[in-house]
Amino acid sequence: MTGAAGGLGLGLAAGLSDRGARVVIADIDTEALGEAESQLRAAGAEVLAVPTDVTKSDSVAALADRAFERFGRVDVVCLNAGVSVRGRSWELTVEDWRWVYDVNVFGVVHGVRSFVPRLLEQGAGHVLITASNSSVTTLPSVAAYISSKHAVLSLAETLRQDLLAAGSQVGVSAVLPGAIRSRMADAFRRRPAEYGAYRVDPEVVDRSKAFLAQHGMDPRVMADGILQQALDDHVFCIFTDSGDSAMLEARTEALSAGRLASVDMLVNKEVK
């Protein structure tokens, strides 16, 4: 699983381990990855940690090679890495857009290209792709993140359709999590130099951290629910907040009527 040094990725790793799986965790943050590996081992997990930059296709290919070399097969692939930046659409730099899309979208693309052909050879497996509840709504000041997550959901849908058309038994689930206690607010600290510096507003970062600490779901609790729906119940689109599907309905109704779905409309989960 990518993005596994904390948050949902680490929760999924722990949940899968408790189900008897041997787990491979990957992240660009090598220090946090080592801490996650130690935490999982202390809980009894058999774990392999592989430093990985999901923006690089060869790095994700190497991750797949390590996983198959170590364990011989992979049954569940969790493509979970994600980052965000804030700012008005026209004020974000090209590098801001590239970083978000390289991690959020191409990180999934690289995972699909590196793992799915091998799952097809196995004849079985499941791909769990982390989108967001932002995949079905829009908000101001986060255009790069939200548009990337819309792309991720569409990618998951078309991947599933491609696999069905190929007659494959490989499953796909798209996860649309809401707020979760994670390191997302600090993602800028792990931004590679090739994308340039990010103009950080400390107050915004502090507010984001406070919000996630107060309102974010426990990653392990969220992960257990996701794994139940994906692997046991074979659900394709997994909402972690039961009210989020109403946002999709409100947005669809507004757009069908030729209107922009307002922020208040979506937050209140009703069409005005």
Instruction: Return the pLDDT at 152.
Output: 99
Q: Report if residue 42 sits inside a domain.
A: yes
Catalytic, 145? Answer yes
- One domain, residues 234 and 263: no
What pLDDT, in 10s, does the model give residues 182-216? Answer: 666 566 677 888 998 777 666 665 666 565 666 66
- One domain, residues 154 and 260: no
- One domain, residues 89 and 196: yes
- One domain, residues 193 and 210: yes
- One domain, residues 259 and 128: no
Helix, strand or coil for residue 251?
A: helix
Q: Describe the crossing of helices 7-18 and 30-42 by its angle, rounded to 10 degrees.
A: 30
Structure tokens at 11: 């929760």
Could you give the number of structural domains in the chain? 2
Structure tokens at 143: 């255009």
Instruction: Return the pLDDT at 271.
Output: 33
Per the residue annotation, which of 101, 145, 195, 198 is the catalytic one? 145
Q: Report if residue 195 sits inside a domain.
A: yes
Q: Report if residue 1 sits inside a domain.
A: no
Q: Report if residue 2 sits inside a domain.
A: no
What pLDDT, in 10s, does the model give residues 212-236? Answer: 666 667 888 999 999 999 999 999 9
Is residue 247 pLDDT above 90, yes or no? no
Q: What is the mean pLDDT of residues 131-136?
A: 92
Contact 212, 110 (CB under 8 A): no
Instruction: Return the pLDDT at 245.
Output: 82
User: Model-level pTM?
Assistant: 0.90
- One domain, residues 200 and 259: no
Q: Print the domain residue range for 135.
A: 7-241
- One domain, residues 48 and 119: yes
- One domain, residues 183 and 250: no
Q: What percent of the chain is predicted at pLDDT more than 90?
A: 71
Q: Report if residue 88 sits inside a domain.
A: yes
Structure tokens at 260: 């922009």
- One domain, residues 252 and 233: no
Segment among 21-30, 35-44, 84-93 with least mean pLDDT: 84-93
By CB atoms closer than 10 A (0-12, 13-18, 19+), residue 174 is buried
Instruction: For residue 194, give the CATH number of its domain.
Output: 3.40.50.720
- One domain, residues 208 and 189: yes
Residue from 44, 50, 39 nearest 11 by CA: 39
Contact 220, 14 (CB under 8 A): yes
- One domain, residues 218 and 252: no
- One domain, residues 171 and 251: no
Is residue 80 pLDDT above 90, yes or no? yes
Q: Report if residue 45 sits inside a domain.
A: yes
Contact 30, 152 (CB under 8 A): no
Contact 212, 179 (CB under 8 A): yes
Count the alpha carbons within 13 Å of 176 in the hemisphere toward its beta carbon.
26
Residue 67 neighbours by CB distance under 10 Å = 22
